[in-house]
Structure 1
């Protein structure tokens, strides 16, 4: 079950996520928020911090547009019975938060790091000595909190400390800009890394998208 801070943390996460992705402002709904994303396979998303069966059933039954997503902060097994045919499940996510502190990331040998900030989003790019992509990530600030997004390490460069390098660099950048709290929704694969860096898990997140049979992706 989500803790009592889930709704507050989800709203904080949304505030940074819309900056990171350049989406519409969130629209307040009785059950949460709707966000227009504007991508062919991700047209819009409905975010429910405390989903109920009635709300999810109403949204799911009223959805006819492929590329509509549901972000439900609850366990998969609790919410899957509430949606009908055409809804596909993505990997489970985990809402996590941490108190930001100054970081001193160490650069693994054989890699270089480039960072830049534009439009409220700070990005980190790690490359090999000959310029090949190795890892990346970004963080978007919204007031005193910042949202980590799109952290990725190339398969051939995993387990070399690059994920920690990216995260510590992003966290330090946000701290130096005045942010106090970090938020993210991580994958099962990333959860261990984030936990090792002091992040606390607050709620699982079930992610579903609508793709009826025969719909083009």
Structure 2
């Protein structure tokens, strides 16, 4: 939704997204293990196809042949209410925040005092769900509150306060989001065939 990709289509008990990206041609997403996921694991032989499962690594690994490699574990997280004080994001030290909207999508960017990109993130709202995506704070700018400011800026673009807030967090991101009141909904495992 937040990446302006083709809509997911039902496929083998899950969903397929034909991403067509240089690092990823398509992804198959499953809420639970099923025969279709096992079939894909056995038949897909090319790299850049991702298999994603809402389960711990061990569960996905048990379904796949040895040629598949697991990526670092992530977590689907949700936040029922707004987070933060509801005020404007706090930036200091010459950092500048900009936010742009394009239909149901939003993009936020924080520039460092020298103009370099310090942090960025995307969000999209559709069908009662507000998804945060690709939230990144560059290494040289971490531990300065930029991730929090970025999330607050994106949250302020929500059109419906009732929209369920969802994101997928890396291990590093999980700590930030937990400090903002987010809860882990489930583990999120991804596997791919190395190039």
Q: TM-score w.r.t. structure 1 length? A: 0.82
Partner of 1:152: 136
The whole-number CA distance in structure 2 between the counterparts of 1:171 and 1:51 is: 32
Does the 8 A contact of 2:93 with 2:113 survive in 1? no
Q: Secondary structure at the match of 2:172?
A: helix
1:183-194 correspondence runs (5 A): 183-194=166-177
Matching residue of 1:4: none
The equivalent of 1:72 in structure 2 is 53
Find the counterpart in structure 1 of residue 104 from structure 2.
120
Matched residue, 2:18: 36
Partner in structure 1 of residue 187 of structure 2: 204
- Coordinate RMSD, CA, aligned: 1.6
Residue 108 (structure 1) aligned with residue 92 (structure 2): yes
Residue by residue over 1:88-117, the C-alpha shift from the partner in whole angstroms, topping out at 9 and shown as x without a partner, is 211111011112437212223321101101
Q: Report the 3-state secondary structure (helix = DSSP H, G, I; strand = E; otherwise coil) of the residue aligned with 1:198.
A: coil
Q: Distance in 2 between matches of 1:31 and 1:116?
A: 36
Secondary structure at the residue paired with 2:153? helix
Structure 2: state its 5+ residue gaps: none
**Inter-partner Cα distance in structure 1 for 2:128 and 2:92:** 30
Structure showing the higher helix proportion among its residues? 1
